[in-house]
Structure 1
Amino acid sequence: MKIAFYGSSLLSSYWNGAATYYRGMLGELAKLGWKVVFYEPDAFDRQKNRDIDPPDWAEVVVYDATPEACRKVMARAAEADVVVKASGVGVFDDELLGVFDLARPGALRIFWDVDAPATLAEMRLNPEMPLKKALPNLDFVFTYGGGPPVVAAYEAMGAPVCRPIYNALDPTTHHPVPAEPRFTADLALLANRLPDRESRIERFFLEPAAGLPDRRFLLGGSGWHDKHMAPNVTAIGHVGTRDHNAFNCSPLAVLNVARDSMAEIGFSPATRVFEAAGAGACLITDFWEGIEMFLEPDSEVLVARDGKDVAEHLAALTPERAATIGEAARLRILAGHTYERRALEVDALLRSEGAWRSERKSA
């Protein structure tokens, strides 16, 4: 069984927050017998900033960001049993929806949304959006967050079936490691600078830092080089996935700040939540609906509703309590939220739908 997956990038996490999700999910599906072909454009300098080599569990096809190259890889959709177009490829997103028309008869057609709140908002503003027109002809919409609000919204717009396939942990790649001095801090945050998250990062990270001049704050991620910050904040730029474990294990605590749309709709834990928990880090997160589905507030995660809460959590946090919270989070995520579990869910959906189609065809 072959999956043709058209996404942003499997090889690079540079300006590509979905990389960990793709790797964890597709790597586990490959273990279940799926042959994965991942098509990614050479765009946004991602190929110059690869943080993994092409994996042995997937064929990765990198194509030029030109219309001709795009058409060539789209034609290969006809080779697959399952055709997936992900959101947020960044180039030719509307054109790539054409892979659903090029899929062979009987193939499953799936739109996999890695930013459902943003996609839904765009479709509400633009009723003529090509994706909205394509929804009724798909077999599934998968999302990596959103819960009941996203499911209801997608199905109201014509998707036959919408299923959240949440972010998770790959314990072989994200796990405890020794602390490294270069990542030492009282509170660390890993987040690219994005318009719909910047004000929340100011409130939950930069303002508490300014109010705690004796504490050290560390900011990883791209785009912050010209942002005014207090002297006790160190911005270190892009942090590749190979350094995420050390980044999470070295500070007293790490912070998660959701984007505006993710926080508003809830049920949308970022990959950073699972990476930090897998490393045994003490996580402080901004509040969003549904967090208890993944981690228990106060015992497995510290929840903040504003920057004042962040500062209070940090002031009360001892190394011993931080270690206790981090270990509890790690055990909770290992028990119920790994990519192995998520892949089994996807595999069951795909095989069930495929078997139903085979039975209907032979009847």
Structure 2
Amino acid sequence: MKFVVIGLSVTSSWGNGHATTYRALLKELSRMGHEVLFLERDTPYYAAHRDLPDPDFCKLGLYQSNSLLMADYEEDVANADVVIVGSYVKEGVEIGKWVLQTAGGIRAFYDIDTPVTLAKLEKEDYEYITPDLIASYDLYLSFSGGPILKYLEGYYSSPAARALYCSVDPENYYPEDLDKKWQLGYLGTYSVDRQPTLDKLLNETAIDLNHCKFMVAGPNYPEEVNWPHNVGRIDHLPQSGHRAFYNQQKFTLNVTRRDMIKAGFSPSVRLFEAAACGVPIISDYWEGLDSLFEEGTEILIAGGSADVQRYLSGITDEEARKIGERARQKVLKSHTSKERAKELMYYVNEAFEQRVMRVDSNMVYKAMI
């Protein structure tokens, strides 16, 4: 099949989890024999921080404006079997309307931010999608699973809302025998709603365990954040450095955004990356987490610094290794890019079948009248 994906970025992982998600998924689609064209707005922010400027698993098209996108790639969109528009694409509503009018194949929306998207829609903030577009796309691929899918279908009239969680490429993420530099580390872009939990679970722990070393990697943290003396900082860590970063931690921390917690069933790509590296994960809790990993044996849940300190001090190296390995096996079974690509193809074929059924029903109706 021919895929056209119009997404936030595949060339730069700076300050977003979209790029690593797209890379893993599109690489696997290519391996399956599908042809992929990724179209990305050529913005100065990502242009200055491209860690994959020439991907080998897809064709890349950089466009300067929507008018140039539509002029240069109309034929590609019209002839593709599947066209996917991603969340947070600049002027995505205009692009979505164009795709619906132009594409002859399946038209899908891939929301890598579903709870945030729905919170914006409740405020009538139509930055990249509208209620009418949700009802018009053949397929709504959602970063979140659980009850939110029925809500998209019932309230917003999506013809087919399907969970397409983030995934991990096991060729890039796996255990390595590296020296453990940090007792606990965290990888994530600054978010105002995540920071209080990061302060509680990591910074407060660092203050109490001042003989241990901690590390936070990610961009956009404001200067006024008061990091304890034993918390190191890496402003940006390219994807090529993720594996080593995880493998140099005794434990890794997962912190979830407020909208994701409210919706539940919203695992971040970092969760799967860390698990694939076999590093034991300490995470805040949200509904649906236990459907992915078993609490206590595959993941550790913390409500405050006391829980984190108990894990760091009370779990032996061998116990930690077993927790990490069990989570790794779960990811290898259910959350690799190969498994996610299979799910995507199932949803696409399902959408094609629904289209055929609608056409057949219309033909029967017209014959009757």
Indicate whether the TM-score tops 0.5.
yes
Residue 148 of structure 1, CA deviation: 2.2
Q: Partner of 2:84 in structure 1?
A: 84
Deviations 1:216-259 (A, max 9, x none): 11000002261211111111111111111111111111100011
Cα 1:360/1:259, change in 2 over 3 Å: closer
- 1:155-208 CA deviation, whole Å, 9 max, x = no partner? 121211101111222111111223257xx1000000111122222222222222
- The count of corresponding residues between Structure 1 and Structure 2 is 357
Q: Which moved more, 1:107-116 or 1:52-61?
A: 52-61
Deviation at 1:87, TM superposition (A): 0.4
CA contact (8 A) 2:100 2:136 kept: no
The answer on whether the counterparts of 1:286 and 1:305 sit within 8 Å (CA) in structure 2 is: yes
The reply on whether 1:22 has 2:22 as its aligned counterpart is yes
Say if 2:37 and 2:58, in contact at 8 Å, map to a contact too.
yes
> Structure 1 pair 307/88, CA: closer, same or farther in 2 (3 Å)?
farther
2: CA distance between counterparts of 1:5 and 1:33? 16
Aligned to 1:237: 235
Residues 41-96 of structure 1 show CA distances to partners (whole Å, capped at 9, x for unaligned) of 122522222222423321111122x343344356342231211111012x222222
The corresponding residue for 2:173 is 174
Q: Distance in 2 between matches of 1:320 and 1:142?
A: 39
**Most deviating of 253-262 and 291-300:** 291-300
1:170-209, aligned counterparts within 5 Å?
A: 170-179=169-178, 184-209=181-206
Q: Which residue of 2 aligns with 1:143?
A: 142
Give 3-state SS (helix, strand or coil) of 1:46's partner.
Answer: helix
| Residue of structure 2 aligned with 1:211, choices 205, 208, 211 | 208
Residue equivalent to 1:158 = 157
Q: Which moved more, 1:252-261 or 1:350-359?
A: 350-359
SS of the counterpart of 1:239?
coil
AA aligned to 1:203 is K
Report if aligned partners of 1:136, 1:159 keep a CA contact under 8 Å in 2.
yes
- After superposition, where does 1:1-363 map in structure 2 within 5 Å? 1-43=1-43, 45-64=45-64, 66-72=65-71, 75=74, 76-89=76-89, 91-105=90-104, 107-126=105-124, 131-145=130-144, 147-155=145-153, 156-179=155-178, 184-224=181-221, 226=223, 227-355=225-353, 357=355
Between the two proteins, what is the percent identity of the paired residues? 31
Measured after TM superposition, the shift of residue 306 of structure 1 is 2.4
Contact 1:167–1:270 under 8 Å retained in 2? yes
Using the TM superposition, give the Cα deviation of residue 100 of structure 1 relative to its aligned residue in structure 2, in angstroms. Answer: 2.5
Q: Tell me: CA distance 1:74–1:310, structure 2 relative to 1, closer, same or farther (3 Å).
A: farther
Contact 2:93–2:126 (CA under 8 A) maintained in structure 1: no
Letter of the aligned partner of 1:81 in structure 2? D
**Residue in 1 that maps onto 2:367:** none
Amino acid at match of 2:209: L
The one-letter code of the counterpart of 1:263 is I
Distance in 2, Cα, partners of 1:247 & 1:80:
39
Which shows bigger deviation, 112-121 or 18-27?
Answer: 18-27
Higher deviation after alignment, 319-328 or 239-248: 319-328
Q: 1:73, 1:194 → 2: CA distance?
A: 36
Is this contact kept in 1: 2:146–2:264, CA < 8 A? Answer: no
Q: How far apart are the structure 2 equivalents of 1:199 and 1:39?
A: 36
Counterpart AA for 1:161: A
Closer/same/farther in 2, CA of residues 180 and 12 from structure 1, 3 Å limit: farther
Q: Distance in 1 between matches of 2:16 and 2:125?
A: 27
Measured in 2, the distance between the counterparts of 1:251 and 1:356 equals: 47
CA distance in 2, matches of 1:357, 1:262: 32
Give ranges in structure 1 of 5+ residues lacking alignment: none
Q: Give the corresponding residue for 2:366.
A: none
1:77 and 1:99 in contact (8 A); partners too: no
Give the 3-state SS of the residue equivalent to 1:78 in structure 2.
helix
**Aligned CA distance change for structure 1 residues 238 and 299 (closer, same or farther; 3 Å):** same
TM-score of the superposition, structure 2-length normalised? 0.90
TM-score (norm 1): 0.92
**Contact 2:189 / 2:219 at 8 angstroms: preserved in 1?**
yes
Structure 1 distance, partners of 2:191, 2:71, is 32
Q: CA deviation at 1:31?
A: 2.2
Q: Closer, same or farther in 2 for the Cα pair 1:350/1:324, shift >3 Å?
A: same
